[in-house]
């Protein structure tokens, strides 16, 4: 058996998230169906994580096993011919047999996009703000994230994870153009709904409804009810997943 990592992108608008759902279309199911068709057997696919309904990925990674070595370029081309237009495979990379797309990931990076103007061409990929928040204060609050590892306050309730600890490596807002701002956050792992809850709480700081010190208190209280409302998923993108180079087999 040879294990491969698939690097792919998808527009999450039409999907109920990455993970297979009993009553909805998922990205994982589409990818498994295409691989099973090409390899002529049932193929399991394991993703680096699971994005929620409507969330996008400009780079997601998943792994699967093949009975025989594959031509990565040819296989990527065949997959793209079978997959729907809103899912695209960038490349395949051979990895060691025990490599795991989820457990071997050392960091994941998300970006959340907000805009202060109404534009019909990006309504699916931006969160519209009706007043311009104080991004400087929001960045000041975002720096507090580096002081903590327990982010229970930003986690969806009743999840099956054993710990709510995460190590945040990057967090901050940058201006993309006159009306668009981007929040970039990078961590070793993320909790369910974590990025959207952090952004929603930072926006309360930017609107003057929560002080910078109040943001710190939200984290310390470890209570989801103390944090802000989660922002919509349509403006959230998974943009990178990092791995140690030693898990890859030479191309």
Active site residues: 52
Find how far residue 158's CA is from the centre of its chain.
20
Six token digits for residue 185: 């956050």
Other CB atoms within a 10 A radius of the CB of residue 157 amount to 9
Residue 110 marked in a binding site? yes
Give CA–CA dist 33/47, Å, rounded: 15
Question: In Å, what is the CA distance from 164 to each residue of 148, 219, 230, 237, 245?
Answer: 11, 12, 17, 21, 27
Structure tokens at 49: 């994580």
- The C-alpha angle 12, 110, 88, rounded to 5 degrees, equals 40
Residue 21, classified by CB atoms within 10 Å of its CB into exposed (0-12), middle (13-18) or buried (19+), is middle
Q: Torsion over CA of 25, 31, 33 and 35, rounded to 10 degrees?
A: 180
Helices (H), 100-171: 135-142
Binding residues for substrate: 110
């Amino acid at each position: 058996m040879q294990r491969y990592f698939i690097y792919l992108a998808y527009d999450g608008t039409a999907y109920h998230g990455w993970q297979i759902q009993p009553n909805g279309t998922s990205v994982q199911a589409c990818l498994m169906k295409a691989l099973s068709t090409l390899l002529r057997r049932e193929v399991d696919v394991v993703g680096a994580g699971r994005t929620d309904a409507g969330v996008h990925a400009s780079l997601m990674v998943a792994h699967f096993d093949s009975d025989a070595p594959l031509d990565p370029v040819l296989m990527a081309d065949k997959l793209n011919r079978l997959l729907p237009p809103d899912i695209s495979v960038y490349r395949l990379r051979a990895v060691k047999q025990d490599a795991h797309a989820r457990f071997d990931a050392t960091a994941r990076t998300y970006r959340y996009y907000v805009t202060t103007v109404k534009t019909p061409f990006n309504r699916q990929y931006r969160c519209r703000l009706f007043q311009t928040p104080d991004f400087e204060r929001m960045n000041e609050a975002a720096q507090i994230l580096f002081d903590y590892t327990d982010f229970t306050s930003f986690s969806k309730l009743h999840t099956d994870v054993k710990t709510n600890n995460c190590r945040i490596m990057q967090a901050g807002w940058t201006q993309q153009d006159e009306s668009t701002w981007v929040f970039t956050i990078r961590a070793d792992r993320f909790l369910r709904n974590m990025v959207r809850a952090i952004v929603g709480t930072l926006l309360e700081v930017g609107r003057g409804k929560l002080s910078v010190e109040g943001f710190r208190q939200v984290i310390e209280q470890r209570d989801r009810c103390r944090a802000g409302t989660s922002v919509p998923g349509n403006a959230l993108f998974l943009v990178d997943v990092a791995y140690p180079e030693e898990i890859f087999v030479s191309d």
